[in-house]
Amino acid sequence: MQIKKLLPGLFIIALICASPVLMAQTGLDDPSVDDPAVPVDGGLSLLLAAGAAYGAGRLRRKAHEAKD
């Protein structure tokens, strides 16, 4: 019972402590700022493929249930 009351508070404290690190930005003297070749497509294409596979599975399951 005590851990259920303590867990949300610990989560909020951890989130507040981690937020400056998560929001950190690179300085202007960083050489990678001038490099426009940043790969954005890597994880996005995997997420789209996973979403399409999930949707196809749901449609297949609904079609199978409609037959029965």
Residue 32 has pLDDT above 70, yes or no: no
pLDDT digits (tens, 9 = 90+) for 42-59: 778 888 999 999 999 999
In this predicted structure, what is the pLDDT of residue 50? 94
Per-residue DSSP letters for 45-67? Answer: HHHHHHHHHHHHHHHHHHHHHHH
In this predicted structure, what is the pLDDT of residue 60? 92
**DSSP code of 33?**
G
Determine the Cα–Cα distance for residues 52 and 3; give it in Å rounded to an integer: 40
- pTM for the whole structure: 0.41
Residue 22 has pLDDT above 80, yes or no: no
Determine the Cα–Cα distance for residues 34 and 62; give it in Å rounded to an integer: 50
Determine the Cα–Cα distance for residues 63 and 55; give it in Å rounded to an integer: 12
